[in-house]
Chain A
Amino acid sequence: MKNIACALLLSTALVMPATAMAKDVNVTVDMKSYGGPGAYLAVYLVDGAGQFQQTLWVAGRKSKYYRHLKGWARGVSSTGGSIDGLTGPSVGSGRSLTVRANIADALINAGYQVVVDSAVEDWGDRPHDAAVPLVNGASAGGSGFVGKLSVKM
């Protein structure tokens, strides 16, 4: 089953109204069959220097566990930014998550990356589990719980 998440991106200078200079981007996270409970995931954008830019999605209902998505949490805490409307359920072993985001043209093919942090109860935290350039058709494997991370637009 796929979690089709329609992310509403709000109030960021980097995000333009859909009508002007922005694209719908589908980010798909395929999980490995690691065999544990559902994974908490943070899907976010970083710039070429690895600096946190923007949250695309957070999977997992209980915010008290968000601190385990360490790279993302560090970025959000330093940069600020709301995650209202950008959260959904955790993603089970072997399942996949698709995030649909509306992203400004200026960020595409411009050295920005989509990064996924993951954490699974008992099994550990994986900041920077997987990362791919924000380029149509890009995909990469993960080092932790993520099997494959891919971008389509």
Chain B
Amino acid sequence: MLRILHTWPTLLAGVLVTVMAISGAVLSLEPAVARFSQPVGQTVAEDTTVASLASGVVAHFSDPQKIVRRASGQVVVYHADADGFAADLVNPATGASLGAYQPSAFFQTVTELHRSLFAGETGRIATGIGAAVMILLSVGGVLLLVTRSGGWRKLLKPSSGTFAQRLHVEAGRIAVAGLGILAVTGLFMSLTSFGLIGAPVEDSFLSFAESSGGPVLAVADMPALQKVDIADLRELVFPAKGDALDVFGLTVAQGSGFIDQATGDFLSFSANTPAESLYQLAYTLHTGQGAWGYALVLGIAGLSVPVLFVSGMATWVRRVRRSVRIAGNVSAGRADTVILVGSEGNSTWGFARSLHAALKAQGMVVHTGAMNDLAGSYPSARRLIVLAATYGDGDAPASASRFLSRLAGFSCQTDLAVSVVGFGDRSFPAFCAYARQVEGALKHMGVAELLPMATVDRQSTQQFAAWSHDLGKAISIDLHVEHTADLPGLKEWECVARKDFGQAYQTPKSILRFRAVQTKPGRFGLSRAGGPSFKAGDLIGILPKGSDLPRFYSLASSASDGFLEIAVSKHPGGLCSGQLCDLGPCDRIAGFIQPNARFNMPRGKAPVILIGAGTGVAPLVGMVRANDALKPAYLFAGSRDPQSDQLYREEIDTFRKSGRVRNVSYSFSRVPGGAYVQDALRANAEELRRMVRQGADIMICGGTSMAEGVSKALDDVLGPLGLTVQKLRADGRYQEDVY
């Protein structure tokens, strides 16, 4: 719902808002340009009055029309002379001309574009609507981000997702305050100019102030002008020349009034109404007149709008394009197998489609639908499969938002059994929390369990395949779901080097180096410079021969190293690891890079604690290798035996000498008095606490049980600081790559 409110106004008015924002950003330069391009004149004593300024102006100009003091402090005199009308900047102290006042025609044109799109009143209505849309988008954007990141307190958590999504979130975070101010004040001014709010009561043009008609008093002697400090002056309108009944019109910060030419006293003065004061505030906040630094900040906020627009549209187009159609969907009433999908970004639908096809190929009659479309009952169904993602901090994803309330009206026949699969990201504390909630609710209703609940971390096709294998066994069919989610373009990689370890423990491990193969010449017959871009911690999805299912390995090098490196542990009977461990020089594999920004070396200067075991050390070493900034890094590396399976020993020594890593602690589990990496953490607790106090990020790579052990050990270590792993995780300072 929130997302629809964020998307549709953009589709309807995105271009309008973008034009307003860009023109506004251009206008944000005006106060700075005005400040630095035109003289202000000498500064005047604080007690200089409007009477003295006006008498100076009268002395220098034969027919002054009005004096305007701009927010920048510049004083402009509009006057008539033999040639017509002119405006001069004047010295506030003397009233003498400093030269012609030339408001920039460029800025005037852009102002006209900004407030009316060159379309008069209609354009002004449009820009008012644009401001309202901007408010909607700002508020909606913040609420979406709150929902997405799982709460107000996690609002500043590093963003995740595609480049466009991250760009959208980051730009929004930077700009939303400025955009909010601009939108609210813009709408306020728009409504005021249309008289919809705060319209001061317009007295009729038939009633106006008149002077008493006596002999004209010199401006320097006018009591009303003598009382006004020049800093408060907005404008002073002179009476028409030769018209003894006309009056001075004076506008000051506090209000406006009319002055009798003969007595020099106020005929009337009306203080600003609250609405007028509010309007002035809105005007100042919106234009930044007289505060050029502030105006430039607003301008940057404005410039974020085209970025937000383009990145938002890119995300939207991607979502629409990826929406999934299910081939050969059977109606819910006839199906023997029902698949329900709770998905936020459509990726879970992709799994559903693969599962649907595989089940259908085995002769099942399958219906696939959104969890929100849960029927009152499924009379023919024997199996109910729920594939549920989690949104934010345990909320229902978009296509399941009404599922739990609909479940109350669901009547379940006794022979229906359910299997729930949760999709999520282990780096979130609420991993698969919604799926668990659904599973609990179904259990509570007494629906039989076909399989225990399974989870799929970050769209792991392996984990999904493992679950589907169990499903096949449970229903006595031979089920192979090879879900290939949006495989990006495959590339050929040629093995250039390998190093083997761990033969002694029957767990062979290899470090493999590859280079990208320039298979095809680029467009126009030119060879493309360089291979794909990647960083240590990103993933390579490798398609082993004989399978369409990619296996992911963490990269132990960055593109700038000139090679792609992975560490592989050979699993007995493992298709992909087996093939990899048999590679020799010049052998090739097919794979694609999958960015994994969450597990790249964190940016910034804060220290980093790197904890890995087995082949999990590899990506951490890749990060250290790329640590050209020499930020403090502490590596904890675990393996079984220094004689057998210790990866990267020599390289780590080199990095220690060059300062790429400050401290290294090795743990060996299969030597006398052996220890695990978590034991090393406890032994170095004091140093770890010191680094965490300095804002250190923690990166962990290795197997699940190691990650659990590390998490427990760190909870103990951090206890004295009042910190927990959970807390660091929520702050985006604790990243795991666990397999």
Residues of A in contact with B (beta carbons under 8 Å apart):
32, 34, 36, 63-67, 70-71, 73-74, 76-77, 120, 122-128, 143-145
- Asked, given contacts A74-B210, A74-B245, A145-B85, whether A127 binds B240 with beta carbons under 8 Å apart, the answer is yes
Q: Judging by beta carbons under 8 Å apart, are A124 and B66 in contact? A: yes
Which 9 A-B pairs give the minimum distances between C-beta atoms?
Answer: A124-B65, A66-B205, A77-B206, A67-B205, A127-B240, A67-B208, A64-B202, A123-B85, A34-B85
Task: Closest A residue to B245 by CB, please name it.
Answer: A74
B78, B206, B210: the one within 8 Å of A124 (CB) = B78
**How many pairs, one residue from A and one from B, have CB atoms within 8 Å of each other in the complex?**
56
**Segment 233-247 of B: residues with Cβ below 8 Å from A:** 237-238, 240, 243, 245-246
Query: Which of the residues A66, A67, A74, A124 comes within 8 Å of B80, measured between beta carbons?
Result: A124
Min Cβ gap A111→B in Å is: 22
Known: A67-B208, A71-B243, A123-B87. 17 other contacts (CB 8 A): A34-B84, A34-B85, A64-B205, A65-B205, A67-B205, A70-B243, A74-B208, A122-B78, A122-B87, A123-B85, A124-B80, A124-B238, A125-B65, A125-B237, A128-B243, A144-B80, A145-B85
Residues of chain A lying within 8 A (CB to CB) of residue B205: 63-67, 73
Contact of A73 among B84, B208, B237 (CB under 8 A): B208
Q: Which residues of A contact B65 (CB under 8 A)?
A: 123-125
Q: List 17 A-B contacts (CB under 8 A).
A: A34-B84, A64-B202, A66-B205, A70-B240, A71-B243, A73-B205, A73-B206, A77-B206, A122-B66, A122-B68, A123-B78, A124-B65, A124-B66, A124-B85, A125-B237, A127-B246, A128-B240
- In the complex, are the beta carbons of B206 and A36 less than 8 A apart? no
Compute how far the CA of A65 lies from the CA of B202 in the bound complex, rounded to whole angstroms.
Answer: 10
B42 close to chain A: CB less than 8 A:
no
Minimum CB–CB distance for A116 against chain B, Å: 13
Query: In the complex, what residues of A have CB within 8 A of residue B270's CB?
Result: none
Kindly state whether residue B207 has any CB partner on chain A within 8 Å.
Answer: yes
User: How far is the CB of B645 from the nearest CB of chain A, in Å?
Assistant: 82
Give bound CA distance, A133 to B240, whole Å.
Answer: 22
Residues of B within 8 A of A124 (CB): 65-66, 78, 80, 85, 237-238
CA of A127 to CA of B240 in the docked complex: distance in angstroms?
7
**Per DSSP, are chain B's interface residues mostly helix, strand or loop, or mixed?**
loop
| A interface secondary structure, majority | mixed
In contact, B85 and A36 (Cβ under 8 angstroms): yes
- Using an 8 Å CB-CB cutoff, how does the interface string of B202-218 with A read, 1 for contact, 0 for none? 10011110100000000
Chain B residue nearest to A37 in the complex (CB): B108
CB distance from B84 to the nearest CB of A (A): 6
Known: A34-B85, A124-B65. A76 touches B206 (CB 8 A): yes
- B206 contacts across to A, CB distance below 8 A: 73, 76-77
Contacts of B237 in A (CB 8 A): 124-125
Q: How distant is the Cα of A32 from the Cα of B82 in the complex, in angstroms?
A: 13
Interface string of B235-273 (1 = CB under 8 A from A): 001101001011000000000000000000000000000
- How far is A76 from B570 in the complex, measured between Cα atoms in Å? 100
Give the A-binding residues of B (Cβ under 8 A): 65-66, 68, 78, 80, 84-85, 87, 202, 205-208, 210, 237-238, 240, 243, 245-246
Closest to A61 in B: B121
Cα distance, A46 to B560, chains bound together (Å): 88
Measured CA separation A122–B84 after assembly (Å)? 14
| Docked complex Cα distance between A143 and B81 (Å) | 10
A11 to B662 Cα, complex, angstroms: 98
Q: How far is the CB of B74 from chain A (nearest CB, A)?
A: 14
Of B66, B68, B240, the contact of A126 (CB 8 Å cutoff): B240
A67 to B160, alpha carbons, bound, how many Å?
60
- The minimal Cβ–Cβ distance linking A90 to chain B, given in whole angstroms, is 12
Indicate if the CB atoms of A32 and B246 lie closer than 8 Å.
no
- Separation of A78 and B215 alpha carbons in the complex (Å): 23
Q: How far is the CA of A145 from the CA of B240 in the complex (A)?
A: 14
In the complex, the answer to whether A125 meets B207 with C-beta atoms within 8 Å is no
List the A side residues contacting B208 at CB < 8 Å.
67, 70, 73-74, 77
Nearest CB on B from A46, distance (A): 14
Complex CA gap A63/B85 in Å reads 24
Known: A36-B85, A70-B243, A125-B240. A77 touches B207 (CB 8 A): yes
| Closest B residue by C-beta to A147 | B84
Expressed in whole angstroms, the Cα–Cα distance for A49 and B628 within the complex equals 92
Minimum Cβ distance to chain A for residue B244 (Å) = 12
Complex Cα gap A71–B237 (Å): 16
Give complex CA distance A76, B204 in Å.
Answer: 12
- Given the complex, which residues of A lie within 8 Å of B243, measured CB to CB? 70-71, 127-128
Using CB atoms, name the residue of chain B closest to A77.
B206
- Which A residues are in CB contact (< 8 Å) with B210? 74
Who on chain B is nearest to A64 by CB?
Answer: B202
- Chain B nearest CB, measured from A51 CB (Å): 14
Shortest CB–CB separation between residue A35 and chain B, in angstroms?
8
Alpha-carbon gap, A66 to B202, bound state (A):
12
How far, in angstroms, from A122 to B66 measured CA to CA in the complex? 8
- Give the Cβ gap from B87 to chain A, nearest Cβ, in Å: 8
**CA A65 – CA B84 in complex, angstroms?**
22
- Smallest beta-carbon distance A119→chain B, Å: 10
Give B75 Cβ to nearest chain A Cβ, in Å: 14
Closest to A122 in B: B78
Q: How far apart sit A64 and B201, CA to CA, in the bound complex (Å)?
A: 10
Instruction: State A32–B206 Cα separation when bound (angstroms).
Output: 28
| Cβ-closest chain B residue relative to A71 | B243
Q: How far is the CB of A115 from chain B (nearest CB, A)?
A: 13
Q: How far is the CA of A65 from the CA of B66 in the complex (A)?
A: 16
By beta carbon, the residue of chain A nearest B247 is: A70
Q: Which residues of B contact A36 (CB under 8 A)?
A: 85
A44 vs chain B, min Cβ distance (A): 14
Q: What is the CA–CA distance of A36 and B246 in the complex, to the nearest angstrom?
A: 24
The answer for the CA separation of A34 and B68 in the assembled complex, in Å, is 19
Q: How far is the CA of A127 from the CA of B239 in the complex (A)?
A: 10
Measured between alpha carbons, how far is A123 from B240 in the docked complex, in Å?
12
For the complex, give the distance between the alpha carbons of A126 and B80 in Å.
10
Q: How far is the CB of B122 from chain A (nearest CB, A)?
A: 14
A92 to nearest B CB, angstroms?
13
Residue of A nearest to B205 (CB): A66
Residues of A within 8 A of B68 (CB): 122
Residues of A within 8 A of B245 (CB): 74
Chain B residues whose C-beta falls within 8 Å of the C-beta of A74 in the assembled complex:
208, 210, 245
Q: Which residue of A lies closest to B66 (CB)?
A: A124
Point out the residues of chain B lying under 8 angstroms from A126, CB to CB.
240
Complexed CA–CA distance, A23 and B535 (Å): 90
Closest CB-CB distance, B78 to chain A, in whole Å? Answer: 6
Tell me the bound Cα distance from A128 to B243 in angstroms: 10
Tell me whether A32 and B240 are in contact in the complex, defined as CB-CB below 8 angstroms, given that A123-B78, A124-B78, A127-B246 are known contacts.
no
**Minimum Cβ distance to chain A for residue B273 (Å):** 15
**In the complex, what residues of B have CB within 8 A of residue A125's CB?**
65, 237, 240
Q: Give bound CA distance, A120 to B237, whole Å.
A: 13
Query: Taking the nearest CB of chain A, how far is it from the CB of B221, in angstroms?
Result: 23
